[in-house]
Structure 1
């Protein structure tokens, strides 16, 4: 087995991984990036629509353009990427990984790790829908790959379950390719995707959005023939007498993403609400020298946020590997009223804080309050699908030393 050494080993080559690699290399570290696909980019490579890069690059790009730019910049900085690689075993605390690839088997030893494993789509089996599993039922990400990369249409008449952003985007994409999209079904009383996607992907194409509704049964053995949809109450229990059937041959699942943490959850602390790794505002996890960034920390609503967090994690991983780490005092972040997802989970006093918050429920107006710091940010309209972001300079963090916590709440 070949043995390699590197300063920073990055696992996963999506937006967070590429940004981490670029940042770590610019900080002066030797960087190795592992990616399971032949090229880096992750899901960006199949997201041919625009809307990316407005914050990270300050211009509007498609997904492949965003990925291509990061790929080029990594190459210019000398990042070593091993494509088509599979991590067969990893020792997080020793920072060693056994990797299989077409180039052979490697044991890679590093001084710091960045885990950017992303998120996976919630599968059909977890939705407890009655019926067989005929062909024609597939996650939105897979449908996107079929259409945008493989040049296949999944069917002729479709319904989308879930109003997450990828489901909304695929409703539009399928419509543009000639598929009849009957409706987007959402069990919540409000949409799950960004407002701009509701307008641009559904309203602009007259695609109905049915709220407080879910798919309760599928029909068909060889191929999907019909789905049963039913209204649900506030506890998401189907309401008797409200069912109807839709004749479709395709069911696209956009029922949410789950942070991909299973290979590391025995070693790293997981946040029960975010369902991802607990990290500080430097990106460091519960194990010293091991960093995480992107959708395996929490599912972000913008790839720009993912790349920004990757950049921070990569820089601090490089500083750690080079013996230049300047970690300060740390305090936990505590959820207060009306707060769901929150990142980071720990505040390092020696670094600025980029705070991301998801509301538990929609609010016409409200105020994000950082209790111990006396800081506030008001908003006119907030929904759980759109993160509220707030940046706090490290100079303003001093009150946390005595408070020993940062409470985040929404009034």
Structure 2
């Protein structure tokens, strides 16, 4: 068979989507990808085989449709996790934030009873370094994700209305109910399962990236690969906008069932992938029922996640939602806004604080200026002055007046955005 030739997807070919939806996803997805890269998940290469399988030709449009119509409900496998954003390793204790199992903050807050078992407490650990995940699913009501480290294991188990999170390191289990995760629900995971950890598979990351398709994106089929012992097509996604720091996203798609098996995001600066996702092995047979059973080990501290959620609701309002923290952010900081288009979208936060120390402040304090110089470089323009903090994928400009500009864009794009907003 002839090799798969690159075929590009354009807006004209995507007539099934409304203009309104296309506009929305173009603005939202690049920022979402940047957020995932900066704060949460990256999965490592799936050890592709040495040979490229000989598969029938397929267009990019048809391969995208194959992913969209894939209805794999059952699988189990192992995923290797590595991120290389140019960030220092971050201890898991820094990850305890809003969220937890109830969608509120109680279960995940620092010092909370269930902090060590809260999914949020594990997110920062996945922001750098290499990790191993074991995953399993049997329809929308049964999932299991385990993060396996050398000395401990952390697991989230969802079975019907029961959700457990267990941290073997602290021997702590967090139990919660999932009232919105019945058989009629369209959600693949209950609200109690962390919105961050639920995206810890190649499938979820690939679907997010594909939403960016439009006039700012080139999508082609770029050959084939062997991933986790299975034949796969390789979908290549490239931003067309020069200011984007994303070089490319490569998705290996199972040729038989359309399941993304590997997700690799490479920065435009080159080098190792910043986010790399892949199964090292995968089985699409029905997992054993015992996979989704959990009983706290003897002597484990068991925390009632529902009570933690109730505390959060009393503290933050009766209808505290998973995104209540973002609403508080908008209120406290005077609003979070997204400017720009496609992959060069930039999130802006006004009123983030008193701003960085000025030259006068540094002359008095000295140490503050030296510390900031070690973290970021000085920047100036008609907006005034500030500092730019960089990773291999995401850059952020914090002005002296306390406004933040952040995105998967180059430094000049941030300065231009600040100048335009002046």
Indicate whether the TM-score tops 0.5.
no
- Higher RCO (CA-CA < 8 Å; seq separation 6+): 2
Interval of TM-score (by shorter of Structure 1 and Structure 2): under 0.3
